[in-house]
A and B are shown apart, each in its own frame.
Chain A
Amino acid sequence: GQNIDQPTEMTATEGAIVQINCTYQTSGFNGLFWYQQHAGEAPTFLSYNVLDGLEEKGRFSSFLSRSKGYSYLLLKELQMKDSASYLCAVRDPNSGGYQKVTFGTGTKLQVIP
């Protein structure tokens, strides 16, 4: 089965740094995605990790430890527009040719002045 856990909500201050954690237990693993979703909109791709380590992309970084079943998304220099839900998603190679992705429940981040 698939189990992906994230904190439900987080609050952080504009200009600060916030880390959103994700732990997963899946039957197979072929990569972990982070998506950003603003209310009423579709998710937008942020990052993809398949190997252990840190991937940096501008203000956003994503870390993966496969042995621990753990990832985090790091947001630096927070801006008000970063207020959104952040979804952790794991791709399962056992899903067949279409590479099924399972989403966590998402973390709603509120950035305050």
Chain B
Amino acid sequence: GAVVSQHPSWVICKSGTSVKIECRSLDFQATTMFWYRQFPKQSLMLMATSNEGSKATYEQGVEKDKFLINHASLTLSTLTVTSAHPEDSSFYICSATSRDSSLEQYFGPGTRLTVT
């Protein structure tokens, strides 16, 4: 089946620093990748959608200058949290749809970010 990986699986950083999270589709070409954020005991909130080779589309209320998304290839998308604050601490999950089938989103295992 389609596999999506994320790296790192967890990260701790200090306030004011930036952290990059990678999302890779391992065995398929991901035409579209989605970035979600999930706070404890809450559901997934879509942050942005990215298509390979084009700028990401951000959801309302998500600061594009703070959450930088790059979808440089059909197998890699990155999310960079810039000038991180403690309130950015969350579970970040990416998902991808394949060129062959846009029906299902394949989710990565998630990245736990803690900002101290």
Contact = CB atoms under 8 A, between A and B. Distances in A.
Say if A and B assemble together: yes
Interface of A: 31, 33, 40-45, 48, 87, 96-106
A27 B42 CA distance: 23
Nearest to A4: B43
Contacts of B98: none
Contact of A48 (B93, B103, B109): B103
B102 interface: yes
B6 to A, nearest CB: 8
A31 B107 CA distance: 18
16 contacts: A31-B103, A40-B91, A42-B108, A43-B44, A45-B105, A45-B106, A48-B103, A96-B57, A97-B32, A98-B49, A98-B51, A98-B57, A98-B102, A101-B34, A103-B45, A104-B43
B33 to A, nearest CB: 9
B104 interface: yes
A41 B43 contact: no
